[in-house]
Chain A
Amino acid sequence: MNKTVQNLRVLSNIQLNRDHHLLELQAPVKLEQIAPGQFVNVRVEKSQSTFLRRPFSIYGVDYEKNTMSLFIKDVGPGSHVLTSTPEGEEVDVVFPLGNGFSFPENNKRILLVGGGFGIAPLLFFAQELTKLNLKADIHALVGARTADDLMELDSFAQYGQVYTTTEDGTHGLKGRVTDHSVLSDNLQKFDGVYTCGPEPMMKAVAAKAAAADVFCEVSLENTMACGFGVCLCCVTETTSGHQCVCTDGPVFNIRDLKW
């Protein structure tokens, strides 16, 4: 759909753990097709110390309820105001922004690798792949610091096989996602790897995919002001020069990045 600025009503605000919230927002206009990997830029009205909007990946869209969900980690004054927004209040959102993950052809085996709240667009991707009946064989590798930080595993499990790692060993393999055998052994068995999370994690995943010559897309999260390609602040180095993460991305094929 075209980019738009709308006041969306908070239908629900669920605290998932100590610092993560899931906000379901209802739109006054009919939501048209939104691609997994696209993001929104949310205005933080009641914050004294912030000025700019805050970008978030879209976590899911329910076209029947006309809602979209955002997965928000409370990391600073801006996100704190948003995670504190009560049901019934409105938030000013610019959406949908950016590109999205490339859909594979039918019957492909794909691996999603998510770290922390980087799982948001990957879960949306898995949801859409299943809805579109692409018969994808979905595998999801999710990493976090502790078991408490691992969220929405049940949701991933609806769509495919789930593997986990935690840094303290409280769930799944002790270590990081890149220590997991699914990324080490025979990565070529996958037709594509899609990753979102902290940049060092994505770089490590991209290096493994590149070494195995497997198609790999990453979702970047550079700091930005506008979100629609006019401030030119969120650039990343690509083989064709500086490109905006907000409009040329946030999803990039690793072949095009200078990583």
Chain B
Amino acid sequence: MVDLRVKIGDLDLKNPVMTASGTFGYGVEFEDFFDLDRLGGFVVKGTTLNPRQGNPYPRMAETPSGMLNTVGLQNAGVKYFCEHIYPKLVKYQTNVLVNVSGSTAEDYAECAEQINELEYIPGIELNISCPNVKEGGMTFGTSCPSAEAVVRAVRKVYKKHLMVKLSPNVTAIDEIARAVESVGADSVSLINTLLAMAIDAETRKPVLSTITGGLSGPAVKPVALRMVWQVAQAVKIPIVGMGGIMNAADAIEFMLAGASAIQVGTAGFVDPLAPVKIVEGIEDYLVRHKIESVTDLVGSLQL
């Protein structure tokens, strides 16, 4: 028997596979496909203090080995989440994290404070990296002072696990990671989507309503791996790696680069069963390589 359990700070995961915010709805949408308790955890979609309608259609463009999206944090707001969604999530025997976003540091803090009251939500993922909103989002995650300011504001009111989701749209992601670690982040997750663009040559128009959007899928995996590797050299807090993970081998590559756990995102659109197939694939890998615990893989890249 191999041991798939991992820890992300004080969070205990039965295996290192989580699903990524914005690709997994509130989890319930996947119930027909597999038992969500098989996951190490899942992150429900970006939640903001006030309801948001999100960006106009069209919001998606298929690209080579990936896709662009510009959803723009459509959600019903934290109050609706607490009253109507949360009761559906308490039954799960896995880590259910809420992705929190906002336009100002105060918005983030107020939203996080309300989620702090929810007994069965052991942590939040602070989204300082959404590229598809005009105010807030990525602008917080692209400079050390603004990243520190928002994490500090949330840390004051949020008492449980605080994971901070980093943007790849920066010159030095390791510096941002160090900055959020210094003001109390318990872990970092990376990468969010890469700011990108698609144009239709026939119509001579941008494909997305907002002109630019966020690139995800296997196309971003090499960039994501490099960033996880860089951040692993820079911080002591655990790293949750993501970016184009389609199968167990991809997941293991992120763990070798230094991630304690991983998130599966866009792969779930192509194969809704991808998250559980990855759990099984990691187990097979450990057996095949005679590795007792998946934690032995973390940062064990052979140089």
Tell me the bound Cα distance from A161 to B273 in angstroms. Answer: 44
Stretch in A14-22, A175-183, A220-228 with 4+ CB within 8 Å of B:
A220-228
A241 at the interface (CB under 8 A from B): yes
CB <8 Å contact, B60 and A5: no
- Chain A residue with Cβ nearest B69: A233
Since A52-B269, A92-B271, A237-B57 are in contact, a sample of 18 more A-B pairs with Cβ atoms closer than 8 Å, ordered by chain A residue number, is A4-B33, A5-B33, A5-B271, A43-B270, A43-B271, A51-B63, A52-B67, A225-B269, A229-B25, A230-B29, A231-B23, A231-B60, A231-B69, A232-B54, A234-B60, A235-B74, A242-B54, A242-B57
CB <8 Å contact, A224 and B60: yes
Across the interface, which residues of B come within 8 angstroms of A135, CB to CB? none
CB distance from A46 to the nearest CB of B (A): 14
Find residues 230-259 in chain A having any chain B CB closer than 8 Å to their own CB: 230-237, 241-242, 247
B184 at the interface (CB under 8 A from A): no
Find residues 46-62 in chain A having any chain B CB closer than 8 Å to their own CB: 49-53
Tell me the bound Cα distance from A2 to B32 in angstroms. Answer: 6
Tell me the bound Cα distance from A230 to B21 in angstroms. Answer: 10
Most chain B Cβ neighbours within 10 Å, of A4, A222, A229, A233: A233
Tell me whether chain A's interface is mostly helix, strand or loop, or mixed: loop
- Among candidates A228, A231, A237, residue contacting B71 with C-beta atoms closer than 8 Å: A231
B152 at the interface (CB under 8 A from A): no
- Chain B residue with Cβ nearest A227: B269
Tell me the bound Cα distance from A2 to B270 in angstroms. Answer: 18
Most chain A Cβ neighbours within 10 Å, of B24, B25, B71, B266: B25
CB <8 Å contact, B59 and A5: no
Interface size on B, residues (CB 8 A): 34
B217 at the interface (CB under 8 A from A): yes
B66 at the interface (CB under 8 A from A): yes
In the assembled complex, 14 residue pairs joining A and B whose CB atoms fall closer than 8 Å, in A order, are A4-B32, A51-B63, A52-B270, A53-B269, A92-B271, A94-B272, A223-B58, A223-B60, A225-B67, A226-B269, A230-B269, A231-B23, A235-B59, A242-B54
Chain A residues close to B by CB (< 8 Å): 2-5, 43, 49-53, 92, 94, 222-237, 241-242, 247
Across the interface, which residues of B come within 8 angstroms of A236, CB to CB? 57
Tell me the bound Cα distance from A222 to B58 in angstroms. Answer: 8
Tell me the bound Cα distance from A80 to B5 in angstroms. Answer: 44
CB <8 Å contact, A5 and B272: yes
Across the interface, which residues of B come within 8 angstroms of A237, CB to CB? 56-57
- Among candidates B24, B62, B63, B273, residue contacting A5 with C-beta atoms closer than 8 Å: B273
The digit string for B35-73, where 1 denotes a CB below 8 A from any CB of A, is: 000000000010000000110111110111111010100
Known: A5-B273, A51-B217. A228 touches B29 (CB 8 A): yes
Tell me the bound Cα distance from A4 to B271 in angstroms. Answer: 11
Across the interface, which residues of B come within 8 angstroms of A225, CB to CB? 60, 62, 67, 69, 266, 269
Known: A3-B32, A233-B71. A52 touches B62 (CB 8 A): yes
Across the interface, which residues of B come within 8 angstroms of A2, CB to CB? 32
CB distance from B52 to the nearest CB of A (A): 10
CB <8 Å contact, B53 and A241: yes
B206 at the interface (CB under 8 A from A): no
- Chain B residue with Cβ nearest A228: B29
